[in-house]
Amino acid sequence: MKTVNVSGLKNNPSEALRMAHEDMVLVMNRHEPDAVMIGLQSAKIISMPGVRMALATALFKDGHLSLARSAKLADMPLASFIAHVSRLGISVVNMTAEETQKDLDTLEDWLKQA
């Protein structure tokens, strides 16, 4: 196990990530253990069953990844990922009532022209 202090992590996060690719990295804060960094690839965690899908789902739900990037991380077709998050009750589209009405009005106008 390797160690890095908080100031070292702040000053050179890339070095801490490189170390995490080789071994677990313990982050020390004022001589106390504070966190552990684990390289997902080197620890073979990312290839464990369900990990990619769970990670992609959590990152999408929290707004850290787009729908398309989440599907790619989960290694799923976009339509399958949409069905997956929908089954979990996670909204795929987040719109206000006003935005939804505006879109419906636009659709109605478009359909009248067709």
Domain match, 18 and 69 both = no
Give the model's pLDDT for residue 46: 86
Q: Does residue 42 belong to any structural domain of this protein? A: no
CA distance 34 to 53: 28
Q: Does residue 95 belong to any structural domain of this protein? A: yes
Q: Does residue 77 belong to any structural domain of this protein? A: yes
Q: Does residue 108 belong to any structural domain of this protein? A: yes
Whole domain around residue 96: which residue ranges?
49-114
What amino acid is encoded at 16 in this protein?
A
Domain match, 62 and 114 both = yes
Q: Does residue 43 belong to any structural domain of this protein? A: no
Give the count of domains, the chain. Answer: 2
Report, as ranges of residue numbers, the positions in the chain whose pLDDT lies below 50: none
Instruction: Give the chain's radius of gyration (CA, Å).
Output: 21
Give the model's pLDDT for residue 6: 92
Give the model's pLDDT for residue 72: 96
